[in-house]
Amino acid sequence: MADPSREELVDLYKLAVDEYRFQVNLNWDRSKYFLVFNTAVIGVGTGLVKVGRNVATPLLVGIFAVGLAAAALSAFAISLQHGYYRSTRDRMLAVAATLEIEDWGVASTPGARGERNSFLARIGKVQNILHMLLFVAGVVDVIGMIYVLTR
C-alpha cells in the first residue's frame, strides 16, 4: 500500500482531532454521572439514617455498601476511560508528527504537548482529582456503614 498523501494525512488528522474531542467529552460526561450517582447514594443513605432509626439497619448498610461498590467501580471506569483518551491522543499526535505540525497541532494538555509533569502537576490532573473525590465518597460510605452498625 502506498504512503498516504499530505491531503489524506490532513484528513486523518482532522478525524483524529474529532475522535480526541469526542473522547474528552465522553469521559467528562461519564465522570459527571459517576460523581452525581455517588453523591446521590450518600444523600439517600444519610437521609434514611435520620428517618429510619434502628428499623432499617440492613437496608441502610446495603445502601452504603452499594455506594462503596459504586465508588470503586467508578474509579476503575475512570482509569479505563483515561486509557481510551490516551490512545486517541497518541494517535492524534502520531499523525501530527507525520505531518510535521507538532508545534501547531492540538496541545491543550501537558500530555498532548509531550511534557513530563512534576509531582504536583500530576496531582492536579483531572483523572487524579476524580479518583480523590471517589475515594472520599467511598470513605463516607464506610463511615455511614460503621455509624449505622454501631448506633
pTM for this model (two decimals): 0.83
Give the chain's domain count: 1
Whether residue 120 is contained in a domain is answered as: yes
Residues near 96 by Cβ (< 8 Å), separated by ≥ 6? 13, 102, 105, 106
Domain span at residue 102 reads 6-150
Per-residue pLDDT tens for 85-141? 999 999 999 999 999 887 777 766 666 666 666 666 667 788 999 999 999 999 999
Whether residue 1 is contained in a domain is answered as: no
Whether residue 99 is contained in a domain is answered as: yes
Q: What is the mean pLDDT of residues 23-28?
A: 96
* Burial readout 60-96 (b: 16 or more C-beta within 10 A, e: otherwise): bbebbbebbebbeebbebbeebbeebeebbebbbebb
DSSP string, 26-46: HHHHHHHHHHHHHHHHHHHHH
Whether residue 130 is contained in a domain is answered as: yes
- In this structure, are residues 85 and 93 in contact, taking their beta carbons and an 8 Å threshold? no
Whether residue 132 is contained in a domain is answered as: yes
Residue bearing the bigger pLDDT, 97 or 71: 71
Confidence at residue 50, expressed as pLDDT on a 0 to 100 scale: 82
Nearest to residue 81, comparing CAs of 17, 147, 32, 44? Answer: 32
Whether residue 97 is contained in a domain is answered as: yes
pLDDT band for 16, please (50, 70, 90 cuts): very high
Per-residue pLDDT tens for 35-67? 999 999 999 999 988 886 666 788 899 999 999
Confidence at residue 79, expressed as pLDDT on a 0 to 100 scale: 96
